[in-house]
Amino acid sequence: MGQRGFCSAKTNDTCDNQMPHSLQQDQLQKFHEGLQAHPIFEGRFDSVPLDRIAAMANKIYEILYYKATKNKIMRFEKVLILHTIMNITEGEIDAMFALFFKECRVVEDEFWDNYEDYLTELKDVMMDVRTTRKKI
């Protein structure tokens, strides 16, 4: 069963950040295959099409690039809400980000080596929203 809600989520497509690099098709394919093969996801991505995985990976990359160039995390409330609804675990976030960092590296991106720290910050934001929401 695919997670159509997350992968087709509408996010703010208007961003004043111009992405100087893009993720390549072979990277996205390996990322997709990694998500499908990783046991922590228990088949969560088995029926999710590559184009939705590509959109998700590109959004992650855009958020990281925005952080590197603007020194703040880009707003992504709709994605946060969907993560909360889908009950994404910290382990799943860690696994996804590890796969992203491994499979989607952009060698030409001068900021890439900072992204691992930004992924940690991004995960903290995602987990904090879940904790805050549960308290309500």
**Does the residue 69 lie in any domain?**
yes
**Does the residue 1 lie in any domain?**
no
**Does the residue 124 lie in any domain?**
yes
Q: Is the pTM of this model over 0.85?
A: no
**Does the residue 59 lie in any domain?**
yes
Structural domain total, the chain = 1
Query: With helix as H, strand as E and coil as C, how does the chain read?
Result: CCCHHHHCCCCCCCCCCCCCCCCCHHHHHHHHHHHHHCHHHCCCCCCCCHHHHHHHHHHHHHHHHHHHHHCCCCCCHHHHHHHHHCCCCHHHHHHHHHHHHHHCCCCCCCCHHHHHHHHHHHHHHHHHHHHHHHHC
The whole domain housing 119 covers 23-135
- Give the tens place of pLDDT for each residue, 7-46: 444 444 444 567 889 999 999 999 999 999 999 999 999 9
The larger pLDDT score, comparing residue 37 to residue 59, is at: 37
- Give the tens place of pLDDT for each residue, 66-78: 999 998 888 777 6
**Does the residue 27 lie in any domain?**
yes
